[in-house]
Amino acid sequence: MSPLSVNLFDTAQGEFDHVAEMLHLEPGMRQLLREPLREYHFLIPVHMDDGSVQVFKGFRVQHNDARGPAKGGIRFHPHESIDMLRALAMWMTWKCALMDLPLGGGKGGVICDPHNLSQREVEQICRGWVRQLARNVGPAQDVPAPDVMTNSQYMLWMLDEYEAIHGVRAPGFITGKPVGMGGSLGRVEATGFGVIHVLNEALKGLGVSPKKAAASVQGFGNVARHAIQKFNELGGAVTCVSCWNNQDKTSYAFRKNGGIVLEDMLDVANGFGDVDPEKMRALGYDVLPGDEWIAQEVDVLIPAALENQIHEGNVGNIHSRVKIIIEAANGPTTPEADAVLRANGMMVIPDFLANAGGVTCSYFEQVQSNTNFYWKKSKVLELVEARMIAAYKEVAQLAREQNLYMRDTAYMIAIRRVANAVKSRGWV
């Protein structure tokens, strides 16, 4: 099966079913938690710059809000699908529960490609998305945030539209806003830094100093860049980075003995993370096919791009030196590849633990927005780090005590918390 044909919602439901069986959840609870509570499909008509009208498809999925308002990003992508959003919303439920945040899981998206749209056209899509959902989202219902190919400016347009419709000030409606307009300091760094806080704890458990560790990273978006930055600050070397180049529709891996220099890549990257291979070659980097990131002789693999990137076709290429795979992306490992990794005894730190720094910081942004009191960056990042480390230690301890695969262990903790909330409310 091609990795592109893997249905992410099937993966999410399969992982849930596996752990639900381990937990002996009753049938009614299983039926409720394996599907979204509600979802919205709608159309967004936009007057384009050339005078035509183009209609874009939009979605919002609210998987479960027993523990609090739904929380989750908005993705703009030409291949967006409702099943992908269902999966991501479900994972957000588990992620928020695992981090013990008073939030549920949601996810939204629009089928579009911002690369090919003007700023005015993108703004109209953002405002149209809110107009279609204005009665079904809000600080006490569902709190969106940025995700793939959306950013703080998009969130501000959405906030402005929401406030105009309701005639109120509601900065807690959305997170990932610009700093100075209700956004939190530390939000940009939180997800990538959180990945490395967890990785550092895992390395300590294996008796490995980050100063003697090497990593290979797939992706060069916001999460990957800040993960590389933090890993370098701890003394680790990222020797290979793979990323997509939208100019020639090709993926490249850039490798340098002793470690890539982050500033080199930042200097030649555009706002979407595309890196010019010829400029990197001129700087003395090896330029390899994009899928070579997974075959590098390193201690750590960090998939930080898209879903289904470690699959049965390439899982066998992982070098024997690799000790940890930490999933900075959402759903980067297919079930078939995960079964191989599980059988081989690989330490896989699952996505909804590894990349939870973003939603944790989003929660802190929501708290600040709702109280109209904003913290210093150092405090925000300190709180995120403490939550990430505490969650990792809880998962690692239970996995060690019961000799469980770490993905199963994280699911067990999260699902129990959500099931308890559902039961306490009397839903089941």
Tell me how far apart the alpha carbons of residues 48 and 116 are, in angstroms, rounded to a whole number: 11
> Is 279 noted as a catalytic residue in this protein?
no
Question: In one letter, which amino acid is 311?
Answer: H
Q: Which of 107, 177, 230, 256 is catalytic?
A: 107
Q: Nearest-CA neighbor of 388 among 233, 189, 236, 207? A: 189
Tokens of 288: 């390899």
- The C-alpha atoms of residue 96 and residue 73 are separated, in whole angstroms, by 13
Q: What residues are annotated to the active site?
A: 107
